[in-house]
Structure formats: structure tokens, C-alpha cells
A and B are shown apart, each in its own frame.
Chain A
Amino acid sequence: MITRCLRIAAMTDEEVPLAIAEGLSKWYGRQLGCRDVSFCLYEGEVIAVVGESGSGKSTLLRLLCAELAPSAGKVHFRTRDGVTRDLALLGEAERRFLVRTDWGFVHQDATLGLRMAVSAGANVGDRLMASGWRHYGRIRGTAADWLERVEIDRARIDESPQTYSGGMRQRLQIARSLVSQPRLVLMDEPTGGLDVSVQARLLDLIRGLVADLRLSVVIVTHDLAVARLLSHRIMVMKDGQVIESGLTDQVLDDPREPYTQLLVSSILPP
């Protein structure tokens, strides 16, 4: 599969994929997490992974950033030097480097993605300091710029995220991830539990950033409206497997699989 993607890229002079999942499977003991997931992700592209609880979406995300080792299959990632590497062969130091620099994360529960005990500025400056930035003024200035970019009042830079609302915490997670200019961002239900208006604002922000920064995003969501708004391609998962995938509007407007049709028909009209 990987060679197929690379061969096609070479033949058609297309860009090489940023990430390739090949036959990814994960069992937790006898419990299936996900099975046989394969896809290519390109720069500037958003892929939504939709499905109900227990469909394997979150497992897939964790496999993509090598937080979990797969039971079978591989994940390849093209690092900034242009070399496509098998994540399983990376040392822990290299993996952590990617986590800190080239990958971003937005967790459903912001407390998992933030340091709740330190200020917002420290949260955003974290990756910078981890990469060796040693000028307080510059770190703080960059952090403040990013807060502004995600529409958080700069004046709140010294407050702890404990004082932030749910929507602000999600936006802070985004700022914290994007400060290192990652090329791949993984989002796990970023709008879960947020008020509708807050959701809209967050999705807007994500759309804008994806377009401006040419981010690649894999976003896990159970909300098809979010998928439609944000993603170019979609993968529908059920019971650990991808049962349908393709262009988002194609899959949602012209669903083929019974389960996809069920999902689509279950959306309440606005």
C-alpha cells in the first residue's frame, strides 16, 4: 500500500503523502480496537473519522501518533527532512521530538492536553522552551500572539486554564499545539461537550487555521455536521473497521453502505 501511494506520487508528479497507515490493527487482549485500517493523508487535507462509540476511532488516533503500538500494520510519516519513516522503528527520543514539534493534539478533555497548573502563556510557550528557546520576552510575545490568533484575550496570558471556559480551553490546546508549526494535527472530538455557539466558533477557527497553515488534520468525531464542515475526506468506522470512505460530501450525500445510510439519516434536521 505504501509503495502504491509512493509509486502513484512518483508517476503523477503528485506530492508524497504526509502520513500513511497500512493495515493498522489493534487488539486489547481479545477486545478488538480497530482492524485493517489503511489510508494516505496528504498535506493540507482534513480527514474525518466518524462512527459511534466503540467503533475504534480513538484507537486509530493513538496508533497514528505511535502512542500505542499496533498489533499489526504500520504507520509511516514523512518527517521534515523529506524521508518517510516507519514510526515503529523510531526511538522514544525521536518520537517525543515529533510529538513536541511536528504533531499537534486536541483532546476531547482539555485537562489531558494542557498543563492545568501553569499559566496559559506557559502552556503555549512549553513547546518553544522544549525546543531550546531561552528568551523569556520572545517566548511570552509569541505565546501572546498565538492566544490572539485563537481569539483568547492576550490579557489572560498569565491565568491558569482552570479559569478558562470549555471553549477557551480547546482553543488553548490548539494554540499550544500550533506554536511549533506542526504539519499534522490529531483531534479527538474537539467539540464534545461544548455549547453549540462555542462549537461553531471553534470549528470556524479550525477551518481558518487549516486553510492558512496548510495543516493536515485527522479529526475523530461522531458529529457528521462537523465532518461535513471541516473535512475533505471521511472514513466511517463500525466495530473497529472502516466500512466506507471517500470524499466527505460524496459519502454523506450518496452513502452506499447500510450503516452509513443509517448514520446520515439519523441527523436531526436543523
Chain B
Amino acid sequence: MNAPAYNFAYLDEQTKRMIRRAILKAVAIPGYQVPFASREMPMPYGWGTGGVQVTAAILGPSDVLKVIDQGADDTTNAVSIRKFFVRTAGVRTTTSTEQATVIQTRHRIPEAPLSSHQILVFQVPIPEPLRFLEPRETETRRMHALADYGLMHVKLYEDIARHGHIATTYAYPVEVAGRYIMDPSPTPKFDNPKMNDCPALQLFGAGREKRIYAIPPYTRVISLDFEDHPFERYRLDGTCALCGATDSFLDEVIADDHGGRIFVCSDTDYCEKRRNDHALLTDSGHD
């Protein structure tokens, strides 16, 4: 019998413990960025190493893993990461949101509502919501420590002054449990409300920046705004050309050589389910 080439889910057990400790801290202080000793992973920075390390630390043999990238299970990144875990952990994988126990995602939250036995793992490029306003790490740490967040609203004010509305459309900053301000990763602002009072545990991993943060289940997550410029979910005004959905986040796709466009659901699993359900309905209708 060949000895397995990798430990379960690639990381050694000590590393997993270290990451789990960071995760516990993160869950204990919702929205707070916990530094952790990010490991060298067999993919470069910028390709989801943070998310992969978090997933690797929490994965068990009975878990069912779904990996999506921009809502789709079949893009290069999603496929690579899924294959990685099949190879190193041998876990079952799925494209179905409902059947997964661990969902690793880049830049989207699935449309289907999550349940309390699921964990959502986000891949995060820049964890610091204040980074582009205040480049000094020493200063941003202090601002978080002292809840000195005026600068964040200055940025939003500036948006409204320049564009007439808050121009941030993704990675829209949120306040977690009434204390820390957090970057939800580059998910579209459309997805922000899903983080609020969510039954699932939400974990965020930034590999290059070496930070982990978390939103425990059923936590209050509020998108920052002004009283007279309240937060609005932004969605392209359209219908999915494939399944007819009017309430999902849409991608715009160039359909032909003449620049014709169609809208399709960004969440491929959601779209497919709707099409299957519709097919079942129409099938039964024809019986």
C-alpha cells in the first residue's frame, strides 16, 4: 500500500491547529482581523491561498465541498481548488449549494439561503477596509482598536460629493456586531444583506495579507451609509436569459460577434436549479 503523499487536506495538523486557533479568535471577536501564520501553498498569492488554508483547517472526511468563483462552479479557479481538495482530502464535492457543508467562494455569496450546518469560506485579497484611505498599518490598527472610523464615512461622503451616490459597488464596508468595520471581500454590494443574521458561519481568509476574520451565525451586519443616502442593493435591471430569474445577481455576457448581450445568473447552481425545476413543472404539465 502506498503511503499518502499529503496529510489530509494538505496542511499538517499543527498548522491546522494554528489556523483553528485564529478562527476561534476571529469568531470570538466578530469582524476583527486576526493575524495568522499563512503557509506557503501550492498556488501563488492572489489565487485563493487564504480561503484554501481556512477550508483545509476545517474540512473533515464527511464534509461535502462546493467551490465557486464569481458564482460559477466551472471556472478555472473553482475547478482547480476543487481538484486540489479531492486530491489531498478525498472529500465528496458538489455543485449544489443546498447539499454542500463547506462552500469556498471567491467574490460571491450563493443565492440560495444557507443553513446552520454550513460554513461559507471567503477568499479575501485585501482584508483592511481602510487600506486605501490610510496606507499605514500602524494607523489602521489603532483606528480599529479605538473604533476611530470617521475616515470611512469621509470616503463615503466623498463618493456622494463626486458621483451623487455612494459609488462603491463591491467590497462595500460593513459594521459587524456594532463594533468592527469589515471588508466583506470583493463581493457585490448586492450580496451584503445576505451576511446579516445568516444561519451559517462565515469565515474570511487572506493568505498574502495573513489575516483571518469571521462573522458568527446570526450576527448583525450593517452596510455603512448615510441617513439620507441609505444603502441600496444594486442589481442590473434585467432577467436571466436562461432561467428567467428577476431577483438574482446577473452577469452581462456578450453573446455574438455583433456585440449582442444577454444577462445570465452569476450563480450557476441557482440558475441550473431553476431551469431543472421549470423543466420538471413543464414536463409534469405535459403528462
Contact = CB atoms under 8 A, between A and B. Distances in A.
A–B contact, 8 Å CB criterion (strictly below): yes
Counting chain B residues whose Cβ lies within 8 A of the other chain, the interface size class is 10 to 19
Interface residues of A, number: 23
Interface string A92-132: 11001000100000000000000100110110011101110
Contacts of B226: 134-136, 139
Contacts of A127: 150
A136 B146 contact: no
Given A92-B146, A134-B227, A135-B227, A129 B161 contact: no
A122 B161 contact: yes
Contacts of B150: 100, 126-127, 129-131
A134 B154 contact: no
A129 B228 contact: no
Interface in A148-202: 157-158
Given A134-B226, A135-B228, A125 B162 contact: no
B162 A93 contact: no
Given A126-B154, A139-B226, 5 more contacts: A125-B154, A125-B157, A127-B150, A140-B157, A158-B161
Contacts of B228: 135-137
Interface of A: 92-93, 96, 100, 115, 118-119, 121-122, 125-127, 129-131, 134-137, 139-140, 157-158
Q: Give the most central of A118, A131, A158: most B CB within 10 Å.
A: A118
Nearest to B153: A129
A122 B157 contact: yes
Nearest to A100: B150
B157 A96 contact: no
B154 A115 contact: yes
A93 B144 CA distance: 11
B179 interface: no
Contacts of B153: 129-130, 134
Contact of A118 (B142, B158, B227): B158
